[in-house]
């Protein structure tokens, strides 16, 4: 991606993979065993009016952008996707604000799984992205911003783990987030973690097998009516998202 966001992502990814390789070698593992396997890589650099969210991973996991997106507050462009200010809970619904990806390969199952992205917002609310909802059979993945704090949740078929940042990150600055699920832990890293200016939070325990038929959505909920189920629409910008497994 030829934007500041894309350049930062490339640098951060190189540093991340390099760190994993060094850790693997120190522990006696092979370097190839430590490298994450890309599942999806959405650079969010489509031109204005695009209806497809492209996947740069080579796996062809593309998303759908509504033709009515701009009229409901979602615009695309070289600098990423931008969601205009809107109440997250007031009627009417605006489903065209939400980007949808329907692909079973976005189900973690029991694998180690990580989602990374870069965003900015001034609002202390909103669902950034998720797969499944509270009552979805098979589990749910969810990133949200209660009081501006980043929350990452993996709910499997038998157990649930959730971790939240201590600091709020709704200061209109760009922030990089990574949430990694393993068989024994859920770890949230913001802005590279501590002590480099961000933070790292984790909780031990398994989140279990996670597989559902719901789409992976960005910008709010897929199924909502703003009456019995709020849509929790996101306001702000996102300029890349990656999913990887190991």
Pairing state between β 185-190 and 74-75: unpaired
pLDDT digits (tens, 9 = 90+) for 132-173: 999 999 999 999 999 999 999 999 998 999 999 999 999 999
Query: 102 is written with which tokens?
Result: 């329907």
Query: 167 is written with which tokens?
Result: 């600091």
Q: CA 175 to CA 39: how far, in whole Å? A: 22
Q: CATH 3.20.20.80: does it fit domain 38-245?
A: no
Burial class (CB in 10 A: 0-12, 13-18, 19+), 229: middle
CA 243-161-16 angle, 5° bins: 35
Section 40-60 average pLDDT: 98
pTM summary value: 0.86
pLDDT band at 190 (very low <50, low <70, confident <90, very high): very high
Lowest-pLDDT range, 3-12, 21-30, 155-164? 21-30
Domain map of the chain by residue range? Answer: 38-245
Residue whose tokens read 């799984």: 113
Task: Say yes or no to pLDDT of 225 above 60.
Answer: yes
> Quick one: which of 142, 193, 139 has its CA closest to 165?
193
Q: Which secondary-structure segment (H or E) carries 231?
A: none
Query: 147 is written with which tokens?
Result: 């009081």
pLDDT of residue 246: 85
Asked if 222 and 214 touch (Cβ cutoff 8 Å), the reply is: yes
């Amino acid at each position: 991606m030829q934007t500041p966001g894309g350049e930062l992502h490339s640098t951060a990814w190189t540093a991340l993979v390099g760190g994993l390789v060094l850790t693997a070698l120190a522990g006696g593992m092979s370097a190839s065993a430590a490298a994450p396997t890309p599942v999806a890589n959405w650079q969010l650099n489509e031109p204005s009016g695009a209806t497809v969210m492209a996947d740069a991973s080579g796996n062809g996991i593309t998303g759908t952008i509504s033709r009515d997106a701009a009229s409901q507050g979602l615009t695309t462009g070289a600098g990423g996707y931008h969601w205009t200010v809107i109440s997250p809970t007031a009627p009417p619904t605006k489903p065209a604000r939400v980007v949808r990806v329907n692909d079973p390969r976005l189900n973690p199952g029991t694998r180690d799984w990580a989602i990374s992205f870069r965003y900015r917002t001034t609002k202390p609310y909103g669902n950034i992205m998720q797969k499944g909802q509270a009552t979805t059979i098979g589990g749910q993945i969810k990133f949200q911003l209660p009081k501006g704090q980043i929350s990452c949740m993996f709910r499997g078929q038998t157990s649930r783990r959730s971790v939240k940042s201590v600091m709020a990150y709704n200061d209109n600055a760009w922030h990089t987030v990574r949430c990694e699920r393993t068989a024994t832990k859920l770890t949230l890293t913001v802005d590279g973690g501590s002590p480099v200016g961000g933070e790292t939070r984790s909780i031990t325990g398994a989140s279990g097998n996670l597989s559902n038929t719901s789409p992976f959505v960005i910008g709010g909920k897929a199924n909502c009516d703003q009456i019995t189920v709020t849509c929790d629409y996101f306001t702000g910008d996102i300029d890349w998202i990656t999913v990887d497994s190991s």
